[in-house]
Amino acid sequence: MTTVDLPAAAPPAAVDRPAPSLRRLYTLRFAFAVAWAALLFANKSQLGALDIVLLVIYPLFDAAAAVMDARSSGTAGPIRGLRTNIAISAAAAVGLAVAGASGVPAVLSVWGVWAIASGAVQLRVALGRRKQQMGGQLPMMLSGGISALAGAQFIVGASVPDPKLTTVGGYAILGGIFFLVSGLRLGRANRAD
């Protein structure tokens, strides 16, 4: 009789373990957000050409990060939510490019709508990952909820006299911090296994 050794099935902890690529992506998102906000703060203009370029780059980076996340998640990941986020962020980039010609209030309104929509999607993706018992998702859930609330504040803030473009820089830094914390928690969850 001939026997064939089949590969052993992965233990449940290994299946649930988050990919190192997701931790790297979260760290990259933190670094990008801080650098992006620093450029926005340093420019100090009232919506010049550099500001418009920076504003368009941010959601494009978000879309690219969602593509990388979807690729690293494989078929088991939250692909639908990530694809939705890619579409929302691409539309936001176009909207911000157009709104840039109309001034800071228009930009803040578009940014606010994007923050609400992408925050809701981020919350949904994080909830799905948490159900899959992936660690590090509480910061992402908080970030998604805060993003939606901040988006509403951007829309309201667009109607005040002399609205400030730099408020989106603070939003980016806070979001980056949530990504960093989530990445650190993912690393800790892996070491605990």
Q: What is the pLDDT of residues 63-122, one digit of tens each?
A: 999 999 888 776 556 788 889 999 999 999 999 999 999 999 999 999 999 999 999 998
Instruction: Give this prediction's pTM.
Output: 0.83
Give the distance, in angstroms, between the CA of residue 41 and the centroid of all CA atoms in the same chain: 20
Q: Lowest-confidence range among 66-70, 77-81, 153-157, 166-170? A: 77-81
DSSP 8-state assignment for residue 103: -
Q: What is the pLDDT of residue 189?
A: 52
For residue 164, CA distances in Å to 24, 41, 56, 73, 158 come to 32, 11, 17, 37, 9
Contact predicate 124/174, CB 8 Å: no
Domain boundaries along the sequence of the chain: 20-192
pLDDT band at 6 (very low <50, low <70, confident <90, very high): very low
Give the whole-angstrom CA distance, residue 15 versus residue 112.
37
Return the higher-pLDDT residue of 149 and 193.
149
Residues 6+ apart with CB under 8 A from 66: 82, 83, 85, 86, 89
